């Protein structure tokens, strides 16, 4: 028996029509009715016909059911016959007219879904007079009733019982089939849902693959391509996925190194992802395009797992040729800048040396003349020459120091020295200058500062002289304090003034060479803008840091740290 099984069936709403092909069922029902001589129909559990009636007799169809009372009685009889009975067929005389009727239930598991009804036969014992009395009772035409009754198939009770048994066996078979169909439909339902979910997740995956700009491909553990995205094809110059899928990717795009030597598959770093199960990042290799050209590639290869087993790797890559070009250009530019900087420093060192020799001679001559020439007019000229030559000497020293720091040729001494003595001597050297500006110079050394330390006292003094010199230069009244304190493994020196202060946005640039906050004040105060750059360079060479805190109009604090070495 052919059946249909609709995947839409849900257990709450199982219908006979959804489980069976009604045309085929009609053929079976008609054949059964014809072969056995009984009338037959299949109804739902409410008595509504599902199939067309087969072999219905004229007595029931045209006479009894045509009267109101007869139809009512028929329906009552069918309702009793239609009650579910999974254990056997039901057999009873019709409550309307008394012909024999039978029925069998069609079930799906516990659910009663339909009835197969048969009947409309009489046996020899049935009393014709009694039946004619029934015709009168329901108001049917007695003569027509008698003629139709004569046409009703006559069957022994035993034979009808056999037919009912056969009906029951067939209905049972249909129940089993219906049950299998429901199960089958459910399996199809579930499979469809899984397939739908799979399709949706594949669609998402594809969308993701298609919308990334980086090339992406998957490898199985033999190095064969399992998937790739459009960017991958584009970057590598292939037309369709078929050009890569199932192919050994190493042999296609990774076969040689940049220097032209062969890149054996067993050394391929992409494979480390599934050989060692680790993520790999490489940015110094090349990939080869379909047309034989190559490009600098950066790639990541990560293992792909399935049920905790490594099944391959997923590779993401970019063409970084442009980035590499920029990097190379930057390295070149840096090298050139360093070379020219070093040439400049050498030049400055040479030239300042060349200038210093005659300058020393001038300074000696001026001093000599000052000693012997007491003429007041000449004296004024000689004083000016003396000051200028000393300034030039300071400038030369600064240029020399600066170029040594820049070309990393500054050598620092490392000797044991007395910290307090160094500080006192520095303060002493600046006392006159402070006094000339009516400034008080205060030294404040914490008792925690060690007595002796390992380092370069001359360069420490040079840094302090520069900071104190600036403080005096840019302060017009009050005091300048020099403080030394211990901070863990470091000494912290601070020079505090109540001078003109520095604008916040200029604070960083004052440490650059030849930078000054205000050129007009420099002309007034002197200086070439090298002192802080040299100090910073020396402090960093000694392993320390310099800091500034300043408020315009209120004053500045320059402080620096040096590691305590003993």
Chain contacts with ligand ADP (rule: CB under 6 A): 466, 470-471, 474, 497, 499-500, 502, 510, 516-518, 522, 527-533, 556
The Cα–Cα gap between 402 and 321 comes to: 39
Write down the least CB distance from residue 460 to ligand ADP, Å: 16
For the chain, how many residues are written?
566
Q: How far is Cα 453 from Cα 477, in angstroms, rounded to an integer?
A: 34
Cβ closest to ligand ADP, residue 532 vs residue 538: 532
CA distance 427 to 442: 8
Minimum CB separation from ligand ADP for residue 395, in Å?
9
Q: For ligand ADP, which is the closer residue by CB, 145 or 474?
A: 474
Least CB distance to ligand ADP at residue 520 (A): 10
Phi, psi of 79 (to 5 degrees): -65, -45
Shortest Cβ 364–ligand ADP spacing (Å) = 26
Radius of gyration for the chain, computed over Cα atoms and rounded to the nearest angstrom = 56
CA distance 443 to 423: 8
Strand order in the sheet with 545-551: 440-445, 479-487, 490-497, 555-563, 545-551
Closest CB to ligand ADP among residues 232, 471: 471
Give 310 or 465: the residue with its C-beta nearer to ligand ADP.
Answer: 465
Q: Which is nearer to ligand ADP, 155 or 472 (CB)?
A: 472
Q: Which is nearer to ligand ADP, 401 or 497 (CB)?
A: 497
Q: Give the shortest CB-424-to-ligand ADP separation in angstroms.
A: 21
Write down the least CB distance from residue 465 to ligand ADP, Å.
11
Complex with ligand ADP: residue 9 or 532, whichever CB lies closer: 532
CB of 262 to ligand ADP, least distance (A): 59
SS (H, E, C) 20-88: ECHHHHHHHHHHHHHHHCCEEEEEECCCCECCCCECCCHHHHHHHCCCHHHHHHHHHHHHHHCCCCCCC
Query: Tokens 């139809």 appear where?
Result: 71
The distance of closest approach from Cβ of residue 367 to ligand ADP in the complex, given in angstroms and rounded to an integer, is 25
378 contact partners, CB below 8 Å, separation of at least 6: 369
> What number of CA atoms fall less than 13 Å from residue 394's CA on the CB side?
15
Q: CA dist 277 to 81, 168, 177, 273, 283, Å?
A: 72, 65, 52, 5, 20
Could you tell me the smallest distance in angstroms from the CB atom of residue 388 to ligand ADP? 16
Decide if 456 contacts 494 (C-beta within 8 A): no
Break the chain down into helix, strand, coil percent, rounded to 5.
50, 25, 25
Among residues 456 and 497, whose Cβ is nearest to ligand ADP? 497
Determine contact, residues 93/101, Cβ cutoff 8 Å. Answer: yes
Closest CA to 497 of 468, 532, 524: 468
Strands 440-445 and 111-121: unpaired
Nearer to ligand ADP, 420 or 549 (CB): 549
- Nearest Cα residue to 462 out of 545, 515, 401: 401
Q: Which is nearer to ligand ADP, 18 or 497 (CB)?
A: 497
Q: Which is nearer to ligand ADP, 36 or 516 (CB)?
A: 516
Measured CA distances, 14 to 6, 43, 110, 145, 364 (Å)? 10, 14, 12, 41, 122
In the complex, the smallest distance separating the C-beta of residue 254 from ligand ADP, rounded to whole angstroms, is 56
Minimum distance, C-beta of residue 554 to ligand ADP, in the bound complex (Å): 11
């Amino acid at each position: 028996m052919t059946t249909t099984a609709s995947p839409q069936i849900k257990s709450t709403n199982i219908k006979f029509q959804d489980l069976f092909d009604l045309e085929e069922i009609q053929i079976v029902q008609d054949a059964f009715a014809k072969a056995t001589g009984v009338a037959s129909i299949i109804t739902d559990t409410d008595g509504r016909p599902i199939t067309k009636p087969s072999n219905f007799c004229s007595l029931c169809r045209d006479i009894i059911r045509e009267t109101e009372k007869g139809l009512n009685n028929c329906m009552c009889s069918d309702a009793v016959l239609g009650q579910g009975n999974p254990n056997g067929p039901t057999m009873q005389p019709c409550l309307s007219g008394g012909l024999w009727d039978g029925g069998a239930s069609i079930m799906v598991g516990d659910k009663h879904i339909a009835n197969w009804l048969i009947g409309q036969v009489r046996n020899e014992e049935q009393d014709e007079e009694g039946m004619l009395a029934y015709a009168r009772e329901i108001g049917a035409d007695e003569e027509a009733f008698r003629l139709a009754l004569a046409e009703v198939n006559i069957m022994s009770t035993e034979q009808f019982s056999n037919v009912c048994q056969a009906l029951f066996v067939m209905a049972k078979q249909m129940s089993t089939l219906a049950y299998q169909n429901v199960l089958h439909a459910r399996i199809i339902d579930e499979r469809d849902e899984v397939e739908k979910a799979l399709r949706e997740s594949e669609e998402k995956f594809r969308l993701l693959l298609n919308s990334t700009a980086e090339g992406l491909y998957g490898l199985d553990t033999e190095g064969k391509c399992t998937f790739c995205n459009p960017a991958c094809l584009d970057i590598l110059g292939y037309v369709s996925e078929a050009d890569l899928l199932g192919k050994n990717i190493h042999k296609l795009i990774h076969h040689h190194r940049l220097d032209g030597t062969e890149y054996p598959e067993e050394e391929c770093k992409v494979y480390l992802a599934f050989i060692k199960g680790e993520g790999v990042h490489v940015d110094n290799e090349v990939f080869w395009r379909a047309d034989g050209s190559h490009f600098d590639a950066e790639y990541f290869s990560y293992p792909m797992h399935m049920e905790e087993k490594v099944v391959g790797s997923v590779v993401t890559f970019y063409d970084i040729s442009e980035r590499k070009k920029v990097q190379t250009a930057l390295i070149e530019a840096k090298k050139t800048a360093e070379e020219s900087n070093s040439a400049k420093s050498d030049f400055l060192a040479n030239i300042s040396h060349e200038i210093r020799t005659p300058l020393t001679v001038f300074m000696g001559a001026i001093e000599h003349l000052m000693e012997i020439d007491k003429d007041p007019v000449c004296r004024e000229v000689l004083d000016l020459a003396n000051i200028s030559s000393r300034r030039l000497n300071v400038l030369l020293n600064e240029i020399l120091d600066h170029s040594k720091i820049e070309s990393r040729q500054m050598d620092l001494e490392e000797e044991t020295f007395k910290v307090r003595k160094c500080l006192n001597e520095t303060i002493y050297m600046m006392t006159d200058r402070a006094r000339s500006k009516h400034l008080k110079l205060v030294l404040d050394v914490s008792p925690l500062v060690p007595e002796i330390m390992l380092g370069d006292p001359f360069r420490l003094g040079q840094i302090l002289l520069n900071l104190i010199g600036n403080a005096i230069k840019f302060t017009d009244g009050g005091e300048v304090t020099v403080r030394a304190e211990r901070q863990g493994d470091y000494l912290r020196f601070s020079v505090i003034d109540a001078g003109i202060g520095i604008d916040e946005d200029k604070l960083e640039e004052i440490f650059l060479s030849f930078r000054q906050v205000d050129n007009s004040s420099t002309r007034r105060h002197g200086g070439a803008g090298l002192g802080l750059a040299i100090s910073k360079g020396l402090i960093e060479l000694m392993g320390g840091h310099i800091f500034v805190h300043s408020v315009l109009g209120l004053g500045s604090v320059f402080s620096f740290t040096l590691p305590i070495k003993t």
